Structure 1
Amino acid sequence: MNLIKLIAIDLDDTLLHDDISLSEYTRDTLRKAMQKGVRIVIATGRMFQAARPWGQAIGLGDVPMICYTGSLTGLCESGRLIRDVRIERQTALAILETIREHGWYAQTYIDDEIYVAHRDERTDEYERQCGVKAHEVGDDFYHPKKAPTKILLCEHDEEKMKEIEKVLRETYSGEVGQVKSKPYFFEMNNKECSKGKAVASLAKEWGIAMEEIMTFGNGNNDVSMLSMTPWGFAVANASKSAKEAAGHETLSNNEDGVAKAVEKYVLGERELEIGNEK
């Protein structure tokens, strides 16, 4: 399937294994695709400094990395930020006041740094997963001088998460982009941003058509890029909405599903028909 010119890939639970590792087989497969002239782009909900090491591990070069679910794009090697679309500041302040009133745990992302009001075990867990330290700023958290790129709420209690989602969706519908990226993560970013829009913007810049793009994802924040092309692949461990958005399905993240599909349809001779791999 030599028509593919751009592959956009989510990181967590898609490209990376559950233990936050990347197999040598996957690295080699993606490098072979690049040697054939295929552009590889990471499209993740992660912050740039937490995503960049994975782009460097693959050897992507100084290519754009889509972060914060499409809100920020930075160059992998140089670290230069080329796009940072933030939540409107007054909207962000209103959201943070709602968070304060309810006593919810949240993190803001400003200038590619993490901020929390007060640390707890969720801060520690997030730092372990992403390898980035958070700044504890007390009540200043609720009155940032700069608008955040993203606001994330973390809650492992299912009923409490339902309340968080209900209140924020009802109160700020149409004002910000909102997605439940994991069962315990509820994220908000600029309403005009998504992974799909960011991938489409790069494709337009590079003169690549939608039918020349392959995308891989697992979560609700991947839906926009899985549905934008005939060659959207959901990994086997993907959410229901991701699988419904994708035209195709591959093996799970722990089985190197991304690399298997790339090897089969981009490096190999196997032809892929629309809707044939569900």
Structure 2
Amino acid sequence: MSIKLIVFDLDGTLLDVEHKLQDKTIEAVKKVREKGIKTMVATGRMYCSARPHTKLLGMVDPVIAYNGALVIDPNDEKEIFHAPIPFEIADEITKMVVNNGYHLQLYIDDKLYVAEKNKYTDTYYDIAGIEANYVGRLDEFLSEEPTKMLIIEEDENKQIEIKNFLKDNFKDKIELSSSYPSFIEITKKDISKAVPLKEFAAKSNIKQEEVMAFGDGLNDLKMIEWAGTGIAMQNAHPELQEHADATAPNHDDFGIARYLKQYFNLNIEIEDKR
């Protein structure tokens, strides 16, 4: 069965360790598209954070952002799909997080809101290139349904506590995922990158077995499992590697470009990066 659609995660997959797109990666993706294969990006990032990369890649098919909670047409930047977290649930989680002194980020209308500037906002800026809006107490600020919520916690024991609380109190109301070890990402129940991907494939008359997907984080798991060919990066989370059909080289060594070159017999010269 030939591949008709390829979907790529961004961080840890298409992007290198400096969160940048290398020329060889851009070239490989464009050469695949020249073969008549559709290409998409599916990321946990905000759309505004993904946009510079999707533009460099020349993406014309829908961009899946916020782990599947928002889908945008890159041609006119209009919303195709949006599934925010219900306000009641978001409000309750926000109060819990604020009362326990954890770092929370709220995403509303493709804007980032936090209580104050700190080491976590600095780290996030280094990754996503997005400046946050500092609004003070988030439990007093929240008045709309957020597209996504993100708790950043480096302490593994505290992470377990937070996840257990969320699972115990909201297991039938939210989805939990992670694109980085310190990230606890919250979206509406039954939302994942796989949801809009399935919808787009169906509308495009593309069969499941004709879809190839690349990823590295646990937020890619459902997408990797659903795709006919699910590929984990060499640097991917061990659980993702277990469920993948194949492995691509490390993201910081032109992993996507090398895999696409070999699989699709692309005419690209790729030298060793190191």
TM-score by length of 1: 0.92
1:20 maps to 19
Structure 1 residue 140, shift from structure 2 partner? 4.8
Secondary structure of 1:244's counterpart equals helix
Match of 1:253 in 2: 251
Q: Deviations over 1:155-206 (max 9, x none)?
A: 1222222222222222211110111332100010011211111211110111
Map of 2:128 onto structure 1: 130
1:141 and 1:116 mapped to 2: Cα distance? 11
> How far did residue 263 of structure 1 move?
1.7
Quick check: 2:114–2:138 contact (8 Å CA) kept in 1? no
Deviation at 1:258, TM superposition (A): 1.6
Q: Within 5 Å, give how 1:113-262 maps onto structure 2.
A: 113-262=111-260
Distance in 2, matches of 1:119 and 1:5, equals 44
Q: Which residue of 2 aligns with 1:275?
A: none
Quote the Cα distance in structure 1 between the aligned partners of 2:80 and 2:237: 31
Kindly state the Cα deviation for residue 71 of structure 1 after the two structures are TM-superposed.
Answer: 0.6
Alpha-carbon shift at residue 30 of structure 1 (Å) = 0.6
Q: What is aligned with 1:53?
A: 52
Cα–Cα, structure 1 residues 142 and 188, in superposed 2: closer, same or farther, change >3 Å? farther
Shift of 1:132: 1.2
- 1:74 aligns with 72
Residues paired across the two proteins, number: 267
Identity %: 33
The letter of the residue matching 2:154 is H
For the 8 Å contact 1:4–1:266, the answer to whether it is kept is: no
Q: CA RMSD in A?
A: 1.6
Rounded to whole Å, the distance in 2 between the matches of 1:24 and 1:234 is: 21
SS in 1 for 2:143: coil
Deviations 1:24-80 (A, max 9, x none): 11111110111111111000000100001100011123x210000011011224322
Structure 1 residue ranges (4+ consecutive) displaced by more than 4 angstroms after TM superposition: 140-143
Distance of aligned partners of 1:150 and 1:194 in 2 relative to their CA distance in 1, 3 Å threshold:
same
Post-superposition CA distance 1:216-265 (Å, at most 9, x none):
00110101111112311001111111111211111110122222222222
CA distance in 1, matches of 2:94, 2:138: 11
The question of 1:7 aligning with 2:12 is answered no
Does residue 90 (structure 1) correspond to residue 97 (structure 2)? The answer is no
Code of the aligned partner of 1:94: E
Q: What is the match of residue 43 of structure 1? A: 42
Is the Cα contact below 8 Å between 2:94 and 2:138 reproduced in 1?
Answer: no
- Given that 1:93 and 1:142 are in contact with CA atoms closer than 8 Å, whether structure 2 keeps it comes out as no
Which ranges of structure 2 fall in alignment gaps of 5 or more residues?
268-274
Match of 1:272 in 2: none
| Change in 2 beyond 3 A, CA 1:253/1:142 | farther
Whole-angstrom distance in 2 between the partners of 1:268 and 1:23: 17
In structure 1, what is the Cα distance between the partners aligned to 2:97 and 2:234? 35
Conserved? CA contact 2:68–2:194, under 8 Å: yes
| Partners of 1:21 and 1:253 in 2: CA distance | 11
Matched residue type, 2:116? H
Greater CA deviation, 123-132 or 12-21?
123-132
Report the residue type matching 1:96 in the other structure: T
Q: For the residues of structure 2 that align with 1:145 and 1:265, how far apart are their CA atoms?
A: 48
Native 8 Å contact 2:97 2:103 kept in 1:
yes
3-state SS of paired residue (2:112) = strand
> Gapped runs of 5+ residues in structure 1?
270-278
